[in-house]
Amino acid sequence: MRPTILCAAAAAVVVSVSAAGPETDGSVAIIERTTDQKPLVHNGLDDDEKVLEALLQDIVGLEALRPGDDGDRFDVDFQGPQGCIACETLLLGLKAAAMKGDDTFVYAVAGLCKRFKVQDDDVCEGSIAREGPIAARALRAMTPGSRTSRLFCVATLGFCSYPPVEADELSFPSPKPPKRPGFSPPPVGRGGGRGSREGPRRPPPLKVVHYSDIHVDPFYVEGTNANCSKPICCRDYSATGRDHKHGVPAPAGRNGDHRCDAPASLEDSMYAAIRRLVPDAAFALFTGDVVDHAVWNTTRAQNTLDIEDAYGRMAAALPLSPVTESPLVVYSTAGNHEADPTNSFPPTGADPGDGDGEGGAGGVQWLYDLLSSAWGQWIGPGAAETRRFGAYSVKHDFGAGNSTDTGVGHSSSSSKKQSSDSSSGSPEPNLRIISLNTNLLYRHNLWLYEEPMQKDPSGQLAWLVGELDAAERAAERVYILGHMPLGSADAFHEASHYLDQIVNRYEATIAALFFGHTHHDEFQISYSDYENRNFTNAVAMSYVAPSLTPTSGHPSFRVYEVDPVTFGVLDVSTYIANMSHPDFHSSEGPTWTKYYSAKEAYGTLVSTATSGRDANGEADDDDGLDRQAVEEEEKMGELTPAFWHNVTEALQRNATALGEYLARKKRGWGGDEKNECAASEECVAAEICRLRGARAQDNCARPSSKLGRLEWRRREEVLGGSDRLAVEVEAGIGKMDEVDECEVSVVRDTLAAVGVVVRARARVVT
Binding residues for Zn(2+): 213, 215, 289, 336, 483, 517, 519
Annotated binding-site residue numbers: 213, 215, 289, 336, 483, 517, 519
Residue 350 CA to residue 361 CA, distance in Å, equals: 11
**Burial of 473 (C-beta count, 10 Å sphere; 0-12/13-18/19+):** middle
* Eight-state DSSP code of residue 225: B
Residue 152 CA to residue 492 CA, distance in Å, equals: 11
Residue 303 CA to residue 50 CA, distance in Å, equals: 39
SS (H, E, C) 293-332: CCHHHCCHHHHHHHHHHHHHHHHHHCCECCCCCCECCEEE
b/e sequence 282-305, b meaning 16+ C-beta within 10 Å? bbbbbbbbbbbbbbbbbbbebbbe
CA distances from 559 to 214, 293, 543, 597 (A): 16, 26, 11, 9
* Eight-state DSSP code of residue 74: -
Residue 225 CA to residue 215 CA, distance in Å, equals: 19
Count Cα atoms within 13 angstroms, Cβ side, for 180.
22
Residue 494 CA to residue 697 CA, distance in Å, equals: 8
Q: DSSP characters for 235-295?
A: S--TTT--GGGGSS--BPPTT--TTS-B-HHHHHHHHHHHHHH-TT-SEEEE-S--S-S-G
Crossing angle (nearest 10°) for helices 641-653 and 655-665 = 120
CB 335 within 8 A of CB 261: no
CB 142 within 8 A of CB 95: yes
SS3 173: coil
CB 530 within 8 A of CB 194: no
CB 297 within 8 A of CB 304: no
- Return the ∠ at Cα 32 (arms to 26 and 35), rounded to 5°: 30
* Eight-state DSSP code of residue 586: S
Count Cα atoms within 13 angstroms, Cβ side, for 313.
19
Q: DSSP characters for 33-59?
A: ----PPP-----HHHHHHHHHHHHHHH
With residue 732 as reference, give the H or E element that holds it.
helix 724-733
SS3 168: coil
Residue 549 CA to residue 547 CA, distance in Å, equals: 5
Q: DSSP characters for 483-497?
A: SS-TT-TTB-HHHHH
- The amino acid at residue 712 is W
- The amino acid at residue 479 is Y
CA distances from 344 to 101, 340, 465 (A): 19, 6, 25
SS3 733: helix
Nearest to 467 by CA among 32, 723, 172, 748: 172
Residues 6+ apart with CB under 8 A from 27: 35, 37, 122, 239, 240
What is the distance, to the nearest Å, from the Cα of residue 75 to the centroid of all Cα atoms in its chain? 33
Residue 682 CA to residue 438 CA, distance in Å, equals: 30
